[in-house]
Amino acid sequence: MEVEDGAELCFPQFPNTSCRKPSSPWPQTLLIYIVCYSISLTTVTLNLLIIISISHFRQLHTPTNILLLSLAVSDLLVGLVLMPGEILKKTSCWFLGYFVCFLYNYLTSIITASSIGDMVLISVDRYVAICDPLHYNTRITVKRVKLSVCLCWLCSVSYSFVIVTDELTKPGRYNSCYGECVLVIDYFTGIMDLVLSFIVPVTVIVALYLRVFAVAVSQARAMRSHITAVTHQLSVTPKAKKSELKAARTLGVLVVVFLMCFCPYYCVSLVGESLVNASFASYVLFVFFCNSGLNPVIYALFYPWFRKAVKLIVILQILQPGSRETIMM
């Protein structure tokens, strides 16, 4: 019996302090691997296509696309590093040591913070483009956007260090046994993270998109009234209403998907994982990560240039001389 019990431990040589290996049935574990790694691979592939497209084609080097590029980089790292790491933590023992655990938690905080920051920058970019189009080219320049992206990543690195600083000074202090990798933050830090990483970004994004929606509706109505007065063709009314509904639907998808992916994670963080079922906590964390796979669908797949770029990448047209100058828009 001692051998059998020892075989269930992550570190049999430390029977009193070792964690036990996860004991899920192999069909369930196999299904988890297939589903989770498929999502991870899809996330990596979609974001890699965005990175190659924007980096390769010179015409796509616009302020908006630079923001999309930064978002795609952070989302690529989510699919490449964070998702596999979370799968490893939940389906196996952590054999990589305390320092690698610290690096994983640090990267988790950096990547997610930068992703949130990129979404805020994108909302600001769209706000200026729609609400103040005459000054867009002078206010939103490539140089300023690049500086904003660098500051976003720098702030993410600094902010994340504050979150995980206790883990650096006393590695493994919150681990209940050998073979696990956890990150526990105190109440004050948790409240700060909730405010800075969720409440403030959501408030900014929702406020800007509501303003964009109001301006879009106002412009559509003004255009409809102008066309009706000039041409006396009332048939244009349904078309104008259709454009209003399309604007509302697009903005609604952006906000709703963001909230659906981020709200559960921060609700669990606020309540405390110790008060929530471990499986449910893992589920909401993976939903949190899945937003990185949805971002390229929402922000890029609606652009015609992305579909054209993917086609050129698949047929290896980008390897031809002069392909960087291809007209994409």
User: How many angstroms separate the CA atoms of 152 and 122, rounded?
Assistant: 12
pLDDT-based confidence at residue 306 (cuts at 50, 70, 90): confident
Domains of the chain and CATH, by start? 25-325 (1.20.1070.10)
Supply the pLDDT for residue 41.
Answer: 92
Look-up: residue for tokens 């320049």? Answer: 141
The residue with tokens 């499986």 is: 279
**210 phi and psi angles, rounded to 5 deg:** -65, -40
Residue 4, pLDDT > 60, answer: no
H or E stretch covering 37? helix 26-56
Compute the mean pLDDT over every residue in the chain, rounded to the nearest whole number: 79
- What predicted TM-score, i.e. pTM, was given to this entire model? 0.83
Note the pLDDT tens digit of each residue in 184-243. Answer: 777 787 788 888 888 898 889 888 888 887 887 776 676 666 555 555 444 444 443 444
Q: Provide the pLDDT for residue 1.
A: 35
239 vs 270, which has greater pLDDT? 270
Mean pLDDT of 139-155: 94
